[in-house]
Amino acid sequence: GAGVSQSPSNKVTEKGKDVELRCDPISGHTALYWYRQRLGQGLEFLIYFQGNSAPDKSGLPSDRFSAERTGESVSTLTIQRTQQEDSAVYLCASSVSRGGTQYFGPGTRLLVL
Amino acid sequence: DAKTTQPPSMDCAEGRAANLPCNHSTISGNEYVYWYRQIHSQGPQYIIHGLKNNETNEMASLIITEDRKSSTLILPHATLRDTAVYYCIVRAPRTNAGGTSYGKLTFGQGTILTVHP
């Protein structure tokens, strides 16, 4: 059906506030990825979920970042006590299985003032 | 995953073929070549991928050299909407024996393709 969707599309927040970003993967896709893209930069891997396996959190930049996924559905990325350097586009991707072709959502543009 | 090298920018006239090269001289036998593109302010878009053989789909063709150390993405009839950053990525399809996930994509700087009238 539809592709990967993300919400909100844009988020402006004040430094120190918490934000929650949502990703709806393509139906049936067991793998889900979060990436971050700062202005003019390439994509940075953040975290990867595969089915019921323990997530690969190796890309999370600090303990202020966390993510959850319920089964093989929606995922939320939470950033606590946001900092200005957290300003970026947060991209979600999903694939049918681990190692499969990843399809990206439109991203959430986060601006921390 | 093997590192890739791409030219930072290329120009192409509308209606002509755009040929985007990529070097991946350290590619391993089980690593695939993937191409994505990112149009301004949008998420990356999958284009095509291949292992050894040349591939073609509705968007593009992928030519992989016999030694697999380089590849070329071909957009046969470029349009203004093809202006984007094109990324060549090499990755293994599976988790290695040590448990490190190869699931993530590692994006380099890519090639900025500008299609002009």
Express each pLDDT in B69-116 by its tens digit: 999 999 999 999 999 999 999 987 655 444 445 567 888 889 999 999
Q: Which residue has the higher pLDDT, A94 or B97?
A: A94
Q: Do B43 and A91 touch (CB under 8 A)?
A: yes
Q: Do A31 and B103 touch (CB under 8 A)?
A: yes
Instruction: Yes or no: say if B76 and A12 are a contact pair by the CB < 8 Å rule.
Output: no
Per-residue pLDDT, B72:
98
Phi-psi region of B68 (alpha: psi -120 to 50; beta: other; left: phi over 0): left
CB contacts of B112 in chain A (<8 Å) are: none
Instruction: Say if B105 is an interface residue toward chain A (CB within 8 Å).
Output: yes
**CB-based contacts of B25, cutoff 8 Å, min separation 6:** B2, B69, B70
Between CA B29 and CA B10 the distance in angstroms is: 29
Going from the C-alpha of B75 to that of each of B32, B93, B110, the distances in angstroms are 20, 25, 16
pLDDT of B14 > 50? The answer is yes
Q: Do A99 and B94 touch (CB under 8 A)?
A: yes
Q: Nearest-CA neighbor of B104 among A12, A112, A76, A34?
A: A34
Per-residue pLDDT, B2:
64
Q: Nearest-CA neighbor of B18 among B113, B95, B117?
A: B113
Q: A76 to chain B, minimum CA–CA distance in Å?
A: 18
Return mean pLDDT, chain A: 93
Q: What are phi and psi of B80, to 5 degrees?
A: -60, -30
Q: Do A56 and B43 touch (CB under 8 A)?
A: no
Between CA B62 and CA B32 the distance in angstroms is: 12
Q: Which residue has the higher pLDDT, A106 or B92?
A: A106
